[in-house]
Structure formats: C-alpha cells, structure tokens
C-alpha cells in the first residue's frame, strides 16, 4: 500500500516540472506569498547545489546505485499491505529519489522551480520536498 506514496510523488513531481518548463522563465522569477517564495525555472546538472555536474556518468552510477539500495532496503515496508507512517516516509523518499534520478538520466539535468525566502537562491522541486518530508517522518516514526 505504501508504494502508492512513491507513485504519487513521482507523478506530482513530473507534472509540476513539466508545468514549470512550460510556464516559467529562467531569467525572470515570479514572487509570491509576500515575497517569501520565488518561482523561476532553474536547471541543476549535478546533485544538490550542482555537486558532480562535471562527472555525469559517475553521478548517474551513484544515483541509480543509491536508488537500488533504497528500493531493496525499503521494499518490505513500502510494499506492505497495511499503512504505516514509516512506509509513508520511505515511499516519499523513494519517489523523490526515483523522479530526480529519472530527470538526471533522461534529461541530463533536474528541473527546479521554487525558492523560499529567495535571497538564498537555492531552488527545489516536489521530489526534493518528498525526500525532505520523508526524512523528517522517518526520524519521527522509525523506531
């Protein structure tokens, strides 16, 4: 049952990235929520903050190696027939990792589009939020 959260994360992430590519500009951001958020099209060719962007083959090997490890490790919990917050957490993490991994492999870059308190200029996507929220839930419920 918990694998549904992975699928929802992937679908929502891919849909929002597509909308961002269609409707946002890389040169002009749109500020919302009293200037606390900025929506702008940003591409990340590496991992977090561009890490390993010059070594795409190595980055893809690491990405899919980690995704394989996550899938094997999370498999019994994600594919359990009963809901658990631990399964929700792992489903969100795996969905986010798989969706960003897909972009990195197929497009050669990950589409990011939202920054909070935009002064910092770090942009995120739905997959990143899935990973972050999943990690927090895992800390809380993984005992």
Instruction: Tell me the per-residue pLDDT of 44-86, one tens digit each, with 9 for 90 and over.
Output: 987 766 667 777 778 778 888 888 888 888 888 888 888 889 9
How would you classify residue 33: left for phi > 0, otherwise alpha for psi between -120 and 50, otherwise beta?
A: left
pTM (2 d.p.): 0.86
Q: CA-based Rg of the chain, rounded to a whole angstrom?
A: 16
Residue 112 annotated to the active site: yes
Which residue among the candidates 13, 103, 128, 142 is catalytic per the annotation? 128
Which residue among the candidates 13, 103, 112, 142 is catalytic per the annotation? 112
Q: What is the chain's percent helix, strand, coil content, to nearest 5?
A: 60, 15, 25
Calpha distance 125→18 (Å, rounded): 11
Calpha distance 2→22 (Å, rounded): 31
Residue 142 annotated to the active site: no
Residue 143 pLDDT exceeds 80: no
Split at pLDDT 50, 70, 90, the class of 9 is: very high
């Amino acid at each position: 049952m918990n694998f549904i959260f992975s699928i929802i994360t992937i679908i929502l992430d891919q849909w929002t990235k597509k909308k961002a590519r269609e409707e946002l500009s890389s040169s002009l951001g749109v500020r919302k929520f009293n200037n606390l958020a900025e929506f702008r099209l940003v591409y990340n060719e590496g991992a977090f903050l561009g890490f390993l962007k010059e070594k795409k083959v190595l980055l893809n090997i690491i990405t899919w190696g980690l995704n394989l490890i996550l899938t094997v490790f999370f498999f019994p919990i994600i594919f359990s027939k009963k809901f658990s917050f631990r399964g929700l957490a792992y489903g969100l993490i795996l969905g986010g990792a798989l969706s960003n991994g897909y972009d990195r492999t197929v497009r050669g870059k990950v589409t990011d589009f939202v920054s909070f308190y935009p002064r910092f200029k770090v942009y995120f996507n739905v997959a990143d939020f899935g990973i972050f929220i999943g990690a927090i839930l895992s800390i809380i419920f993984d005992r």
